[in-house]
Structure 1
Amino acid sequence: MHSKYIVIEGLEGAGKTTARDVVVETLEQMGIRDLLFTREPGGTILAEKLRSLVLDIRSVGDEVITDKAEVLMFYAARVQLVETVIKPALAAGKWVIGDRHDLSTQAYQGGGRGIDPQMLATLRDAVLGDFRPDLTLYLDVTPEVGLGRARARGDLDRIEQESLNFFNRTRARYLELAAQDASIHTIDATQPLDDVMRAIRDTVTRWVQEQGA
């Protein structure tokens, strides 16, 4: 089977790390072991510097990071990762498991920030062309649940400190986009952990079997 790009998405505290472990275990049980892991923003030296700038710093001197500047930094980091890491890995036959990709920008900046979705779609197409994940697992949690888990982990980054309304808008946009795209599979991540893991395992198993059909 050709290499595939699988992305795990969701609000803070949705359980992306646990989901990644379940995806890896499931793939390995199916004989797929040549795996590469990525995270966004980040994954290259340049992209990690952009990650620090966009997530850890609210301002540079007296300059506050504007919403559109934030978007452009995310895309700069993303295209660097896609072109220098993800595409070469896929071409070499590796399966790539990503912690976030473009759906995050469409949801957080399009929903949370309220940036025009058409502008974001145009920017995505200009920067990424037709490159898309083969499968996206969207872990759906309410902001109350997700943020509660995130706070329990420790310090929150610049975006994690946004208001509850921001995350409600982000979640609504996630759900809207997931309903429009058959490659996005929604997992109810508010279930007990065993049920979430079972849902992920079943979804990935069924999807891989369909790819090989």
Structure 2
Amino acid sequence: MSAPAGVFVSFEGGDGAGKSTQVRLLGEWCAALGREVVLTREPGGTTLGLTLREAVLHGDHVDARTEALLYATDRAHHVASLVRPALERGAVVITDRYLDSSVAYQGSGRDLGAEEVERLSLWAVDGLLPHVTVLLDVDPEVGRGRLTDAPDRLESAGEEFHRRTRAAFLERAAAEPGRWLVVDASAAVEEVADRVRAGVVERTGLGADAAEGTGTGVGTGVGTGVGTGVGTPSEPV
């Protein structure tokens, strides 16, 4: 029996949109289908990524262009060492943020130029795009009101920055509806999860081969890798 094809899903959206919750819920559903599931994030999906995450989110010495280059560095290593190998062995890879975040945050939010940042990001990952990109859309004021931890550098940016970022996400989704799934993130958690699952099934057919799945479970945690049980942390690569 041949291994199932890998499936790559990314979650995008503003701060407080509920991405980490929806990543976990979709991962649990995919694992119940018998698929190997890899949950990860950007930045911070690898050991190198954790170091870069600290620099870009909590350092006070990073200018906009350096920030974009650090994200591209993290993404190149993340894809080469974790994402692409997992897809090649037939896993479902679900990431909390991917290159569309760089285009929206650094390209539009930081005014570096969306096209330039997108070219850099695509070069870093050798053109790898998700099969589905889920945009959890919520008003920036509502999203930021949900945050409970001390804000990082991006979360602390002004209201206009976050509104430009949201507009950039929506513009990208409208331009590529085959890849993007826009979900109202102000709805109840389970309602959002239902819409996400329906959209992923529609775009990928995931679930149709449930009887043939050969995966082992979900890997979760900071710097997520591959695990063998829901809620079991895995070490960064």
Report the TM-score, using the length of structure 2 for normalisation.
0.81
1:82-161 to 2 correspondence within 5 Å? 82-150=79-147, 153-161=148-156
Cα deviation 1:81-129 (Å, max 9, x = unaligned): 1011111111122111111100100111112111112211221232222
Cα deviation 1:48-90 (Å, max 9, x = unaligned): 101101101112xxxxx11000000000011011011111111
Are 1:73 and 2:70 counterparts?
yes
Partner of 2:196: 200
Cα deviation 1:12-71 (Å, max 9, x = unaligned): 100012211221233234x24201111101111111101101101112xxxxx1100000
- Identity over the aligned pairs, expressed in percent? 34
Greater alpha carbon shift after TM alignment, 88-97 vs 18-27: 18-27
Q: C-alpha separation between the residues in 2 aligned to 1:185 and 1:200?
A: 8
Task: Say which SS state the counterpart of residue 35 (structure 2) adopts.
Answer: coil
Structure whose residues are more often helix by fraction: 1
Q: C-alpha separation between the residues in 2 aligned to 1:211 and 1:50?
A: 35
Q: C-alpha separation between the residues in 1 aligned to 2:203 and 2:115?
A: 30
Report the TM-score, using the length of structure 1 for normalisation.
0.90
Partner of 2:20: 17
Are 1:48 and 2:42 counterparts?
no
Task: Say which SS state the counterpart of residue 133 (structure 2) adopts.
Answer: strand
**CA deviation after TM superposition for structure 1 residue 210, in Å:** 7.4
Match of 2:157 among 143, 162, 177: 162
**2:201–2:207: 8 Å Cα contact kept in structure 1?**
no
Are 1:189 and 2:191 counterparts?
no
**What letter corresponds to residue 174 of structure 2 in structure 1?**
A
Task: Say which SS state the counterpart of residue 36 (structure 1) adopts.
Answer: strand
Greater alpha carbon shift after TM alignment, 18-27 vs 171-180: 18-27
Q: C-alpha separation between the residues in 2 aligned to 1:208 and 1:118?
A: 27
**What letter corresponds to residue 23 of structure 2 in structure 1?**
R
Are 1:58 and 2:53 counterparts?
no
Q: C-alpha separation between the residues in 2 aligned to 1:85 and 1:6?
A: 14
Cα deviation 1:170-192 (Å, max 9, x = unaligned): 00000000111120111111123
Q: How many residues of Structure 1 are paired with residues of Structure 2 in the alignment? A: 205
Q: C-alpha separation between the residues in 2 aligned to 1:37 and 1:81?
A: 12
Task: Say which SS state the counterpart of residue 137 (structure 1) adopts.
Answer: strand
Match of 1:6 among 9, 16, 35: 9
Residues 191 and 87 of structure 1: CA distance in aligned 2, closer, same or farther (over 3 Å): same
**What letter corresponds to residue 11 of structure 1 in structure 2?**
G
Q: C-alpha separation between the residues in 1 aligned to 2:207 and 2:31?
A: 16
**What letter corresponds to residue 56 of structure 1 in structure 2?**
H
Match of 2:38 among 36, 39, 45: 36
Partner of 1:62: none
Q: CA RMSD in A?
A: 1.7
**1:39–1:98: 8 Å Cα contact kept in structure 2?**
yes
Residues 210 and 54 of structure 1: CA distance in aligned 2, closer, same or farther (over 3 Å): closer
**What letter corresponds to residue 11 of structure 2 in structure 1?**
I
Task: Say which SS state the counterpart of residue 93 (structure 1) adopts.
Answer: coil
Q: Unpaired segments of 5 or more residues in structure 2?
A: 210-237
